[in-house]
Amino acid sequence: MNADVIVIGSGAAGLTAALSLAQRLKVLVLAKGNLTGGSTAWAQGGIAAVLDAGDTFEDHIRDTMVAGAGLNRLDTVEYVVERAPLAIGRLADLGVPFNTEGDHLHLHREGGHSHRRIAHVADATGWAVQEALIRAAEAHPNITLLPGQSCIDLITGRHEMRYSGSGRVWGVYALDEKTGKVEAHIGRATILATGGAGRVYQFSTAPRGATGDGIAMAWRAGARVSNMEMMQFHPTCLYNLEVKNFLITEAVRGEGGRLINPRTGKRFMPDYDERLELAPRDVVARAIDSEIKKYGLDFVHLDISHKPADFVREHFPNIHDKLISLGIDMTKEPIPVVPAQHYTCGGVVTDLDGRTDLPGLYAAGECAESGLHGANRLASNSLLECLVFGDAAASDILARWDEFDTPPAIRPWDESRVSDSDEEVIIKQNWTEIRRFMWNYVGIVRSTKRLERAAHRIKLLFDEVDDYYGHFRVTTDLIELRNLLQSADLIVRSALKRHESRGLHYTLDYPQTVEPPLDTVLVP
């Protein structure tokens, strides 16, 4: 299927870009699974922006830089922060029902923020944003939404009928999950908005499809990636043997929730940081990890039961109802929580226009490394990044449209030398193995020996997966496994290159921070 622009991903970044582009161009939006299967719909907290009378852009910029341990790019942080109020205004115009207090938006405060600046829709902001964007996209005549598409590889000059080594991107090959056929989706420009690689870990708050697809595809096509070792672990994921990835939003701590050691009954954050429960996520996650290991715990407690019950139910209705269904009343008792992988701060290197190294290819949102997050993402800057850079990529494409060539003839997908697999168990086994050794060896606290062990496992698995991929027809599971393994490799290689502890990357062998802060850039 041909369009002017191909957008891969139907979350906040992809749909923001599509709506901006559709003013003048025909846009095809591809989604793996259903349209709401990405991370946007899962976001509980909200969107950070300077909206309070006592707040300033300078404060938001400083908070972002402090959380990012100085690895952020200042020009990117300034660019995003200054556009945040406008981004929220556009969502309100689309019908997102932000909570209000009198004539103003009600603002949460979250860890790492010096002011209340989190605009939200109760504790289900992402779902409200996703719903409004899909509604607008479905109504637009220039946008085609195509779910059920598992993207395999970017189409570059190598796939032209007349071979070219230019690296120019012309779209993507994607598996139609219903028909089992692989189609070439071709456009003059392509935007990656594919989300992160959270499912590379055993415990993650990310949705099932967060397998690093865009990052892996861009890497294979020749784009640089940066800071992949900076994997954020959310401090408070519900500990429940049946519910594997239910997030307890940062805002619970922002509204007074306390972290308690269930064995000692003691509030332990005063032992780790003067900012207590409102310290940045990397600090809180390591503190919880330390308590769990020191006392042999399965979890710690997050307790907001000292607040009035009506206050808790009003501020966190969805979390309250979910916990009630599991037999936990957060108005009367503490919530058992553990850290879990939450956000991929690294990704495909982009500039302020969302451009990657490859002509015709843009990236926005969690799959990109724009310079906003540095060594640790500040709470509620994620949806904000999607909105700002989705619009930035679209604006650059529109401004430069006359420079984009008409796509050449592209070779169709070749299945002539493969057959249907009769050993799907291999995929499940390898997926399980990757997630376990990444959790144990490349988690919250790392060491060179652990990283080298992970690297050794990855090398062996590459041989297996490449052999399997070369002999059998692609399935969504195989596509995801291939991308998951590539993402794991990029994370481990990046972690081995950083000989310091900074932000989310904490290693026992290099506990000190080295100045000046430098990005870890990998070149294909």
Q: Residue 118's closest CA among 255, 305, 308?
A: 255
DSSP H or E stretch at residue 218 = helix 213-221
Active-site residue identified among 188, 253, 281, 502 = 281
d(C-alpha 172, C-alpha 191), whole Å:
10
DSSP H or E stretch at residue 57 = helix 57-67
Tell me if 231 sits within 8 A of 345, measured CB to CB: yes
d(C-alpha 43, C-alpha 256), whole Å:
20
Tally of CB atoms within 10 A around 475: 17
| Catalytic status, residue 62 | no
Tell me if 85 sits within 8 A of 50, measured CB to CB: yes
The amino acid present at 37, given as its one-letter code, is: G
Can you say whether residue 42 is alpha, beta or left, with left for phi > 0 and alpha for psi between -120 and 50 degrees?
Answer: alpha
d(C-alpha 410, C-alpha 391), whole Å:
29
d(C-alpha 458, C-alpha 248), whole Å:
32
Q: Which residues have a Cβ under 8 Å from the Cβ of 299 and sit 6 or more positions away?
A: 239, 262, 292, 336, 337, 338
DSSP category for residue 503: T
In DSSP terms, which residues pair with 301 in a beta bridge?
260, 336
Residue written as token pair 């481990």: 492
Handedness of CA 6, 9, 11, 12 (dihedral sign): negative
> Where do runs of H (alpha helix) occur along 309-447?
309-315, 317-325, 382-399, 425-441
Q: Which residues of 389-402 are buried (b: 16+ CB within 10 A; e: fewer)?
A: bbbbbbebbeeeee
Backbone angles phi, psi at 411, to 5 degrees: -70, 140
Pairing state between β 5-8 and 189-192: parallel
- How many residues in total does the chain contain? 524
**Would you name the residues annotated as active-site residues?**
281
